[in-house]
Amino acid sequence: MTAPHAHNAAELLAQWWSAYAETNEDDGLLPPDERLAVTAPFGQDWPGPLVSDDLVTDADEMAAAYAEVFAAQHPQARLGLIAAAGGADALTAAGWSGPVNYDNDTAKFSAVVRDWERRFGVRVVAVGFDTLHLSVAAPPTNTQDALRVAAEHFAFCPDNIRQGYHPSTLAAYAECLVGMNSWDFWWD
């Protein structure tokens, strides 16, 4: 496993987008025309990350509030403490393997979460075997921005959209992201 600081989040998202938006190869989940519909309006063209620097809520306060909600909804959840600079780095330090079916180098995912910490005020609130739960202090506030964030989420975790955990197109998924103070990811 590499170190999170060794990766550029924007480059990782662009690489993953390119691989997951590819329509020339049948992945057994969706035929090529349906795969292209999932990523509309961008198709195979990576739109790039959304730039967001206006935190409207204190990120740590938002994380504490979401942690209370999460704990109430998941009473079996347990507290874990990891020696790391932050939540994103804790994923790698703990050896979390949630997205192993896509890439076994968790540091790459930590690099993206670290970037989201900076841009959206996200905090890691919970992890499971194949899940990641983040609080979000500065979610997108309109559908145009949410569509760009949805593209980032698809590149980061295509299963959220392609396998029906959330709506099955970027546009539908984006509508769910407007004002949403938590992001949940699931890898099959």
8 Å CB contact between 114 and 4? yes
Residue 87 lies in a domain: no
Distance CA 105, CA 101 (A): 11
Residue 103 lies in a domain: no
Determine what percent of the chain is predicted with pLDDT higher than 90: 62
Q: Is the peptide bond before 41 cis (omega within 30 degrees of 0)?
A: yes
Residue 154 lies in a domain: yes
Average pLDDT rounded to a whole number, residues 15-23:
87
Structural domain total, the chain: 1
Average pLDDT rounded to a whole number, residues 31-45:
80
Residue 92 lies in a domain: no
Q: Print the domain residue range for 141.
A: 4-23+30-78+108-186
DSSP 49: P
Band of pLDDT at residue 160, cut at 50, 70 and 90 = confident
- Per-residue pLDDT tens over the stretch 40-80: 888 888 999 988 766 667 999 999 999 999 999 999 998 88
Distance CA 139, CA 119 (A): 10
Average pLDDT rounded to a whole number, residues 177-184:
95
Residue 40 lies in a domain: yes
Residue 116 lies in a domain: yes
User: Closest Cα to residue 152, out of 50, 55, 51?
Assistant: 50
Look over the chain and give the mean of its residue pLDDT values, rounded to a whole number: 89
Q: How far is CA 127 from CA 47, 83, 89, 148, in A?
A: 28, 16, 13, 24
Residue 167 has pLDDT above 70, yes or no: no
Residue 95 lies in a domain: no
pLDDT value of position 21: 85
Q: How many CB atoms lie within 10 A of CB 186?
A: 17
Residue 36 has pLDDT above 80, yes or no: no
- Cβ neighbours for 127, distance < 8 A, ≥ 6 positions apart: 91, 94, 96, 98, 133
Residue 89 lies in a domain: no
Q: Tell me the β-bridge partners of 185.
A: 132
